[in-house]
Structure formats: C-alpha cells, structure tokens
Amino acid sequence: MLLHNPATAQVIYKGGSNVQLLYGRNLERSGELATVTFEHFGDYGALEQFGFADLSNSASLASPDLYLEWYPKVSLSRATGQELTLGPISDVLLAGGVNVLFGGAEDFFVYLAGSAFKFRIPGPGLLQLEAYYYRQDGRAYSGTYQFTPSWDVPLPVSEKVRLRFRGFMDFIGDRGPGSTQYLTQPQLFLDLGNLWAKPGKVFLGSEWRYWNNVAGIEGLDESVLQANVLFSL
C-alpha cells in the first residue's frame, strides 16, 4: 500500500439523504410490490455511514414489513492523515453492518464485518467494493461471505438532460441451510428538477430488482421492474 499526500486531497462522496417511492407488478409471490425507502449517507471526519429503511407490502402498504440495513465505516486515509492508494483504489475503509427484518415470516438478523475499497472514477460519483464476513443469527446458520459492489454515477447527456445511474449487487454465500444467492437493484434516473433549473432535487426513473435464489432458497428467483421517484432531502 502506497502512502502519499495529505488525505485532504481526497474527493469524498456526498450521497446525502433521500426518500424513494417504488412500485412494481407481476411478482410470483405477492403479485405487486410497493415500497417507501429512506436512505442516508453521511460522513463525520474519518467516519462515514450508509443506511436505509424499507417499508414494503402490496400497493395499500397496510401492515408493511420493515427492513433495515446500516453500515458504519472508518476511512483509513482520513484516520491516518495520509492517502492509502494502490492502483485504482483511492481509499480503504474498515466496515461493519447489520441487517434486520421486522414483520417477515421469521426473525431475521445479520451482522457483518470486513472492509471496503473505493475506486477512482472520472468526475464526481462513487464506485466501491465491500467484502464482509456474514453471519445470520440462529443456530442453524453458519458464517459465510458477502461481496457488494455499488455505484452512483452521474451521466450528463446535455445541459438539460442529466441521468444518474446507481445501484448495488450483493453476492452471499451458503449459510448452511439454503444456497448461495445474489441480489441486484440497479437504478436509472432522469434529473427532473434540472429541466427547470433546480438540479439534484427530484429524480424520476426505474429500478430493476433481480434476486437469484431468494433468501437462499435454491430455484426461487424474483425479477421485477419498478417505477421509482426519488426526492433528495
């Protein structure tokens, strides 16, 4: 690992907070899915965090499930005052996380510990890879791995038309019962506010959610295209 230059030269991703309204149809299990998501990314010196909360159910959102994920991280570049770089890697972070579901068929609690690697990209935005030890609570489950690439990249088409491409992929190993699984949720947005000279406030677009081996159940897959409206806070 190479150490050079003060960490103040590092470009820090400013994700902020947002609320998303999503709706999709033709799910095998429930027929339709409506979701309200609150998402937050913040940094405090060497510390940063990312978390979200999903309220989801049918279109009525009556008695919805509540799903939470939270990932605190420590930037080693900012903590040491030196940039830690290696090739395309612009920073290394120590990371942890928790995943919790309330209202599902069974209790679900996962804790994670590992590291994250941020990569240089042209212009503003985020590209990172997280690698975790993944452990689901319960005697039946053993520890496994989770790899998560994620991104949030602006795509300016013209002065008026600005797109935003963001999303993630979770690759989760066999936990004992069940099999390996992966979940991806790429999103493509149009910056609607920019059409009226108010950029970065309201985005209109879609999200494709694809889950291979849902919850580790081999052969059970889920694919749904959802309309999405994102409001930056």
71-101: pLDDT as tens digits: 999 999 999 998 888 899 999 999 999 999 9
Q: Phi first, then psi: give them for residue 3, nearest 5 degrees.
A: -115, 125
Average pLDDT taken over every residue of the chain? 89
Choose between 86 and 107: higher pLDDT.
86
- Is the pLDDT at 136 greater than 70, yes or no? yes
Q: Which two tokens stand for residue 160?
A: 């008026």
77 vs 15, more confident: 77
* pLDDT band, very low/low/confident/very high, at 2 (cuts 50, 70, 90): very low
Q: Are 56 and 65 in contact (CB under 8 A)?
A: yes
Superfamily assignment of 17-232 in CATH?
A: Nucleoside-specific channel-forming protein, Tsx-like (2.40.230.20)
The pLDDT of residue 169: 98
Provide the pLDDT confidence category of residue 60 given band limits of 50, 70 and 90. low
Read off φ and ψ for residue 81, nearest 5 degrees: 80, 10
Q: Which residues contact 27 (CB under 8 A, 6 or more apart)?
A: 33, 222, 224
Per-residue confidence at 53, pLDDT binned at 50, 70, 90?
very high
Q: Can you give the pLDDT at residue 5?
A: 42
